[in-house]
Structure 1
Amino acid sequence: MTTPMMSRAEAAALVRTARSRQGVTWAAIAEEVGAPLVWTTSALLGQHPMDATRAKKACAVLGLGDEVVEALQQQPYRGIDPALLQDPTIYRFHEALMVYGPALKELIHEEFGDGIMSAIAFNVDIARKEMPEGDRVVVTFDGKFLDYKW
């Protein structure tokens, strides 16, 4: 009899629990996995499939078993639970794009022409910028421009 595979959501919950209980940082996991920090964190939270090597390395760091390794390799259904949009951090990103999205669209079209920034051929990074009046969060979206071709 075949046992059902663990869901990506269940695997993500185990990853978060193990990471928290062991005091392992996302950065330490990403370093061990050999992949960018934001991508690794997103993959371990269920938004990207990991190859077997990376999944095994991440699970070894966290002391998680083969069922989690298997789940982390599955193709995800991307997106988040709409209830998570109420989280203040996630909502602020939404708010920033609601306010600045139309301006960014205009500026992209002015600079590049008719097209979009890819979220597939895409990198994202986060950094701390220390400032006397309080540290700043720097988020960089780096997406390939894709022109509309007819």
Structure 2
Amino acid sequence: MTTRAELTEKIVAHKTFNDIKWSDVAAAVGQSKEWTTAALMGQISLSKEQAYAAGNALGLNFSDEEIALLMTVPYRGSLPTAVPTDPLIYRLYEVVNVYGTTMKALIEEEFGDGIMSAIDFTMDISRKADPKGDRVTIVLDGKFLPYKMY
């Protein structure tokens, strides 16, 4: 019996070895590179058709069991430790630690008491050329959900 974590490792190893881009897999699946990557990393479930399309794009002939794992609603949260140790993920964690209260204050000032949805949500990651070194641009776009009074 394969676990979802083992399937993720298989996908990532195969993708890396064969120099396949997430954006190419996403085009075959019909979703954004961000959504498709999250799904294949085990954080979002795919439809059967999307799972087969991903397998074809990756050149992997997924078993029925693997297709079922890709279709299963996951337990979300991909960090193995409370404080991330991977340097890139830690820097994002640091951004939230340093600027989280600022983001919260500015969102509440603009929208009121509520949260940004991570369900009705999109993300875009892109590269921006800069003579001092290319920049990473991350756009998080979530619907505002006000707390309701009752």
- TM-score tier, shorter chain, comes to over 0.9
Distance 2:94 2:143 in 1: 23
Aligned to 2:71: 73
Aligned to 1:90: 89
Distance 1:104 1:84 in 2: 20
Determine what percentage of the aligned residue pairs are the same residue: 44
After TM superposition, list the pairs within 5 Å mapping 1:50-129 onto structure 2.
50-62=46-58, 63-66=60-63, 67-80=65-78, 81-82=80-81, 85-129=84-128
Shift of 1:64: 3.1
Q: What is the TM-score normalised by the length of structure 1?
A: 0.93
Distance 2:95 2:83 in 1: 16
SS state of the match for residue 84, structure 2? Answer: helix
SS state of the match for residue 85, structure 1? Answer: coil
Distance 2:106 2:83 in 1: 30
**1:35 maps onto 2:31 in alignment:** yes
Aligned partner letter, 2:144: F
Give the aligned length. 146
Distance 1:82 1:118 in 2: 24
Shift of 1:18: 1.1
Q: Is the 8 A contact 1:116 1:145 kept in 2?
A: yes
**1:7 maps onto 2:3 in alignment:** yes
Shift of 1:69: 1.8
Q: Is the 8 A contact 1:122 1:142 kept in 2?
A: yes
Structure 2, unpaired ranges of 5+ = none
Aligned partner letter, 1:71: L
Distance 2:124 2:61 in 1: 27
Q: Is the 8 A contact 1:84 1:90 kept in 2?
A: no
Distance 1:71 1:7 in 2: 8
Aligned partner letter, 1:41: T
Q: What is the TM-score normalised by the length of structure 2?
A: 0.93
Distance 1:101 1:124 in 2: 18
Distance 2:61 2:13 in 1: 10
Q: CA RMSD in A?
A: 1.3
Task: Give every structure 1 segment of 4 or more consecutive aligned residues whose post-TM-superposition deviation is greater than 6 Å.
Answer: none
